[in-house]
Amino acid sequence: MRIAAVLIALIMAAAPAAAQPAPARPIDWDALRDEAVQILSEYIRINTTNAPGNEKAGAEYLARILEREGIEAQILDEEVLGAGRANLYARLRGDGSKRAIALVHHIDVVPASPQHWTVDPFAGLVRDGYVWGRGAIDMKGDGVAHLMAMLALKRSGVPLTRDIVYIANADEELGSTGAVAFVDRHPELLRDVEYLITEGGDIALENGRLQFYGVGVAEKRTFWQRLRVAGTPSHGSRPTRENPVPRLVTALARIAAYETPLEVTAGVDKYFRDISRNYPEPRRGWLADVGAALAEPEAREWILSDVYWNAILRNTISLTVVTGSSKTNVIPAEAVAELDIRLLPTADPDSVLATLKALAADTAITWTTIMAPKTPLENPVDTELFRAIERAARERDPGALVTTPMFTAASDRPTYRKLGIITYGIDPFRVESGEHQKMMHGNDERISIENLGWGTRFIFDILRYAQ
């Protein structure tokens, strides 16, 4: 009996760590990549610049592809989102023994100024090994990788214990009204969804060297403010104390000079400890205990010189819009400024606003919240899907670090998290960190053909291992 038990133990030790559904039919990954390139090129050609959005045309394009594959798709929420706007919903059925996974992306894109691009931003050009155009990175490329991974699951016959839900939302770039409408109006479509994957992670490369696979579990909150000072319009040749511009500029100078307090949240502390292994001493030690390091001038200067690290360690305030007169010789009737404020999950918005008003020190300024902060976003990491992500990452890069950077921008994740769905940010492409930062909302946005195929297979494996 003892020998039999030993043999059984040896057999179990040699078996895979977890069973995985195997494709019943082989997948031609090169052909799937080429199909993804064509679809992304065509998707980019649908100009969904927000505003106005025009997302319905994008949703209809995706719906035609899904229905061609035998997957029913629904165009939703036109009546509340407005003319030319809509959300899309589709579902690939599994056996229902486990709860569903949703793949979510947004159809809208930010504006592009053609004069600053080397290609037409809405031509969907395929050239030099890349698909070029607005949305290639943010985030039509992700949406196509999601779509092709789902189609690969269906075509290959992988047995599914979880339904795969495919959602494309309108208006993420301005107000998240698409996600809000979807969650508020169709909770029954999401009732069985346990996990959701969308933007907000990062596969960090520096000079071609992998730093980590990032899974976004938290994000900062947008708290935009508009400041207005009223005055009396008059001719610029006769200065007056009723010119609103100097009063506003004085207040803005005080705010710009203010350094917000540093705070190391639990998730950020974990992130720095995780990545510390990538650095030599003394920087390794600094990152391993970032709270203590921030008290040392040399360490503090080095850590805060990284714009991303600085942003995840404090509430940030960027002065982005200032308007006064439209003519040099006219004192305007008002001066207006806008602040892009991003709050840590732990921050109290009322307290932050009170501090800024005290800094401005001018009761003539009218403050208006342009965008109120969403619910703080935190997600657990001890989950089946997180382990599937780790497995897929380490199959590609043995020993890879999988960690949890904070997302400094905004996504639709908090809107879905309200329903209790665990929402992870995963950007499935291997792009140099500097290039990713430059192209997201920047000029000459593009994704390599190789990356599009790689990202599709990465999402496919994550979904397969989570079954």
**Identity of the residue numbered 59:** A
Question: Is-cis flag, bond preceding 405, omega within 30?
Answer: no
Domains along the chain with CATH numbers: 21-219+377-465 (3.40.630.10), 221-261+314-371 (3.30.70.360)
State the average pLDDT for the chain. 94
Contact at 8 Å (CB) between 467 and 20? yes
Q: In a 3-state reduction of DSSP, which class is residue 319?
A: strand
**pLDDT per position as a tens digit, 366-386:** 999 999 998 888 899 999 999
Q: 226 pairs with which residues across the strands?
A: 338, 368
Q: In a 3-state reduction of DSSP, which class is residue 148?
A: helix
**Identity of the residue numbered 276:** S
pLDDT tops 70 at residue 8: no
Nearest 5 degrees, angle CA 426-CA 427-CA 433? Answer: 125
pLDDT tops 50 at residue 244: yes
**pLDDT per position as a tens digit, 285-323:** 999 999 999 999 999 999 999 999 999 999 999 999 999
User: Which runs of consecutive H residues, i.e. helices, occur in 206-330?
Assistant: 244-256, 266-275, 283-288, 290-293, 297-304, 307-312
**pLDDT per position as a tens digit, 25-37:** 999 999 999 999 9
Number of H helices, E strands in the chain: 17, 20
Classify strands 87-92 and 73-76 as parallel, antiparallel or unpaired. antiparallel
**pLDDT per position as a tens digit, 387-398:** 999 999 999 999
Nearest 5 degrees, angle CA 410-CA 416-CA 418? Answer: 105
User: Mind giving me the DSSP string for 434-465?
Assistant: HHHHHHTTSSS-EEEHHHHHHHHHHHHHHHHH
Find the helix or strand (DSSP H, E) in which 88 lies. Answer: strand 87-92
Q: Distance (Å, rounded) from C-alpha 39 to C-alpha 126?
A: 11
pLDDT tops 80 at residue 336: yes
**Identity of the residue numbered 167:** I
pTM: predicted TM-score of the whole model, two decimal places? 0.86
Q: Distance (Å, rounded) from C-alpha 220 to C-alpha 333?
A: 35
Q: In a 3-state reduction of DSSP, which class is residue 433?
A: helix
pLDDT tops 50 at residue 4: no
Residue 81 φ/ψ, nearest 5 degrees: -85, -20
**pLDDT per position as a tens digit, 82-123:** 999 999 999 999 999 999 999 999 999 999 999 999 999 999
**pLDDT per position as a tens digit, 404-430:** 999 998 899 999 999 999 999 999 999
Contact at 8 Å (CB) between 215 and 403? yes
Average pLDDT over residues 50-71: 97
Classify the C-alpha dihedral 289-291-294-295 as positive or negative. negative
User: Mind giving me the DSSP string for 168-179?
Assistant: EES-TTTT-HHH
What's the pLDDT at 314? 98
User: Which runs of consecutive H residues, i.e. helices, occur in 192-232?
Assistant: none
Name which of 379, 439, 411, 426 is nearest 222 in CA terms. 411
What's the pLDDT at 21? 72
